[in-house]
Amino acid sequence: MSANLILISRFSTKPGMAHNLASAIAHTDACAVMCALDDDEVVTLEAVSTDIPLQALRERLTAVLPEFAQYLSSDIRRELLEFIESPKPSSNLIPDTPYIQLRHIEVKPDMMSQYRQWRENTIFDVVRISEEISEFSAYHSIISGNLA
């Protein structure tokens, strides 16, 4: 079962530092740590409790900045996502795979119902029959931004 809330953190690193940062993060509480294949970036996925106070989450996230600053080339981009549906469910809270693909789609609020119907009949149909895709979950953004 996919987590109800997931925090995605994207760390843009100085050239050649992504794997060093990934090793450093692996020793913290991050649940999944991945290096981008085509960029100097580390991505972490973390299941977040639905009852965590925002202040406690903020304090925990900002506490790691001094430890990781030497690897970073810019702000840490974070996004808190809420689970919506899964055409190919996972048995884990977060994906258990060496590769993920993140897609961000902006939909006008008055078009959301039509978009979700279109997604169900196109993207999700393809996902369900694809042997290459092991897990697929749809999340919607709750909070998104940069954290220096």
Predicted confidence at residue 136, as pLDDT, reads 92
Mean pLDDT (10-residue bins), the chain, 148 residues: 91 96 82 90 92 87 90 93 93 83 90 96 96 92 75
pLDDT in tens, 22-46: 999 987 666 889 999 889 999 999 9
Residue among 55, 58, 75, 77 nearest 141 (CA): 77
Query: Residue with structure tokens 């925002």?
Result: 54
* pTM more than 0.95: no
Looking at residue 84, its amino acid is: I
Predicted confidence at residue 147, as pLDDT, reads 58
Predicted confidence at residue 31, as pLDDT, reads 81
**Which residues constitute the domain of residue 135?**
5-147
Predicted confidence at residue 29, as pLDDT, reads 65
Whether residue 12 contacts residue 41, with contact meaning beta carbons closer than 8 Å, is answered with yes
Whether residue 7 contacts residue 80, with contact meaning beta carbons closer than 8 Å, is answered with yes
What are the residues facing 34 on neighbouring strands?
43
The strands making up 72-88's β-sheet, listed across from edge to edge, are: 32-35, 41-47, 5-13, 72-88, 136-147
Give dist(CA 117, CA 100) in Å, integer.
24
Q: Count of domains in the chain?
A: 1
Cα angle 75, 66, 96 (rounded to 5 degrees) comes to: 70
Predicted confidence at residue 72, as pLDDT, reads 96
Q: Is 23 helix (H, G, I), strand (E, B) or coil?
A: helix
Count other C-beta atoms under 10 Å from residue 88's C-beta.
14
Give dist(CA 124, CA 147) in Å, integer.
33
